[in-house]
């Protein structure tokens, strides 16, 4: 939403801070969107020190468009790999399907494969520079949100003084304190029956050097592999992100994205995945870091918003990480919420209710689709139709039209099919 100088000043005079609980991708993007709309905000992050954590993440073109709107594209392009194709292979290394991605597919904005730490640092530096360092506060672990007709009060652990604001937004991830407060009787996370390991390793360029590659299927093991940094050593290798998932009941009962994993557990499944285009066990064995995570999500909530408090990103709609869409949906949440608060500065509860009305149905559909029919479903169909055996001709197994229908349907559900984004770009902000 474009605002003139007078309009921005009027909003800033008339509104207390939006208090953002959580300084991750969703929370920082919201802060930047609010600042762009002239709305004061403060980010409250639980950790006392920001450290580089995590592995790779994909920003799809709809998320990339919003980050470009915030002026972040040049900084992100310095660190990311602009992904140009999606490849699907069976576990015997046979090509099943290939299609272009990002700008190679005609989008106005790239698909960016990037280390989560690089993305987070770019957002954090921009937030501190634009909002001021005193608006991004660390060591603020929120324990409760109280509200009345005039605003909200956040309570913190460890004797940190309470903070008053106009609105509270829980952007504090899968362990959200605000979500627990709003839904105290919510059940345990849903375990999907699959365990996941993730890692990064320096490795020579393979395929186009900007390929997002999926291999195999969950019953015997499935991998997603893509580069996230270029030229990371003297040889010019890339930093390559990999994700391995397999059906299993043998999990460690923790819900922690940073739980250390063991390379040996993955190699037991992929020891013979050596193809002319990539030595998969060699890549995994070269990993600098391996993380383990049981594949879980939460059932979609019946509501996110109570008066002046609402949820955003993983706190609102945690989803299994298929389809490269978790961060993107948080970014879309942020744009939507910031714009509605700018349109209704005198009635924050109405703005929050309108935000939920727009975003909760959309993200519910993504959560359910990620469970049942993500783009990976192409490989499920090949696995079932071939009986997990090599094929002579892929055309005898599944048609190109059927595979494009699977990936196209997911793009429409997630909101980044090319026609939708072109139409959105033609509409004034």
**Worst-scoring range by mean pLDDT, 247-256, 345-354, 365-374?**
247-256
- What SS3 state is found at 52? coil
CA distances to 115, 298, 319, 414 from 360, in Å: 28, 14, 13, 13
Average pLDDT, rounded, for the chain: 92
Q: Count CB atoms within 10 A of the CB of residue 160.
A: 16
Q: What pLDDT was estimated at residue 232? A: 96
The secondary structure element, H or E, covering residue 332 is helix 326-343
Query: Is the CB of residue 47 less than 8 Å from the CB of residue 139?
Result: yes
Query: Is the CB of residue 32 less than 8 Å from the CB of residue 122?
Result: no
Q: Count CB atoms within 10 A of the CB of residue 402.
A: 12
pTM assigned to the model: 0.93
Q: Which residue has the tokens 């997630």?
A: 414
Phi and psi torsions of 311, nearest 5°: -120, 160
What is the residue-wise DSSP string for 364-412?
HHHHHHHHH--TTHHHHHHHHHHTS---S-GGGTS-HHHHHHHHHHHHH
Which tens digit of pLDDT belongs to each residue from 179-196?
999 999 887 777 888 899
Sign of CA dihedral 42, 45, 51, 57: negative
Domains and CATH numbers, the chain: 5-53+114-188+300-372 (3.50.50.60)
Q: What pLDDT was estimated at residue 17? A: 95
Which tens digit of pLDDT belongs to each residue from 305-346?
999 999 999 999 998 877 778 899 999 999 999 999 999 999
Q: 258 pLDDT band (50/70/90 cuts)?
A: low
Phi and psi torsions of 354, nearest 5°: -65, -40
pLDDT of 304 higher than 70: yes
Give every strand in the sheet of 56-59, ordered side by side: 56-59, 111-115, 81-83
**What average pLDDT does this structure show over 45-55?**
86
């Amino acid at each position: 939403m474009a605002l003139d100088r007078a309009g921005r000043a009027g909003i800033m005079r008339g509104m207390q801070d939006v208090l953002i609980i959580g300084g991750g991708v969703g929370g920082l993007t919201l802060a930047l969107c609010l600042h762009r709309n002239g709305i004061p905000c403060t980010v409250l992050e639980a950790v006392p020190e920001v450290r580089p954590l995590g592995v790779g993440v994909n920003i799809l073109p709809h998320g990339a468009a919003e980050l470009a709107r915030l002026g972040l594209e040049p900084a992100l392009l310095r660190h990311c790999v602009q992904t140009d194709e999606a490849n699907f292979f069976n576990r015997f290394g046979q090509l099943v399907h290939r299609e272009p991605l990002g700008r190679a597919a005609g989008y106005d904005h790239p698909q960016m494969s990037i280390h989560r730490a690089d993305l987070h640092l770019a957002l954090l530096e921009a937030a501190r520079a634009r909002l001021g360092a005193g608006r991004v506060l660390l060591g603020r672990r929120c324990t409760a949100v109280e509200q009345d007709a005039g605003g909200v009060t956040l309570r913190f652990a460890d004797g940190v003084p309470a903070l008053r604001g106009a609105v509270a937004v829980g952007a504090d991830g899968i362990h959200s304190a605000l979500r627990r407060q709003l839904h105290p009787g919510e059940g345990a996370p849903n375990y999907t029956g699959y365990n996941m390991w993730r890692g990064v390793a320096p490795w020579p360029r393979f395929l186009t050097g900007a390929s997002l590659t999926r291999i195999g299927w969950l019953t015997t093991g499935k991998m997603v592999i893509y580069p996230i940094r270029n030229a990371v050593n003297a040889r010019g290798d890339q930093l390559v992100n990999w994700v391995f998932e397999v059906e299993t009941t043998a999990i460690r009962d923790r819900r922690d994205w940073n739980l250390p994993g063991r390379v040996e557990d993955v190699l037991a499944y992929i020891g013979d995945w050596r193809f002319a285009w990539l030595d998969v066990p060699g890549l995994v064995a070269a990993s600098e870091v391996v993380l383990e995570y049981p594949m879980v999500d939460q059932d979609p909530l019946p509501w996110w918003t109570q008066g002046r408090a609402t949820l955003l990103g993983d706190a609102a709609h945690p989803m299994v990480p298929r389809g490269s869409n978790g961060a993107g949906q948080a970014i879309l949440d942020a744009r939507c919420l910031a714009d509605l608060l700018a349109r209704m500065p005198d009635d924050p509860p109405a703005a929050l209710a309108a935000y939920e009305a727009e975003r909760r149905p959309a993200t519910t559909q993504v959560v359910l689709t990620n469970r049942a029919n993500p783009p990976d479903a192409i490989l499920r169909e090949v696995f079932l139709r071939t009986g997990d055996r090599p094929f002579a001709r892929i055309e005898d197994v599944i048609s190109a039209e059927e595979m494009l229908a699977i990936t196209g349907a997911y793009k429409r559900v997630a909101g980044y099919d090319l026609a939708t984004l072109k139409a959105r770009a033609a509409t004034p902000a």
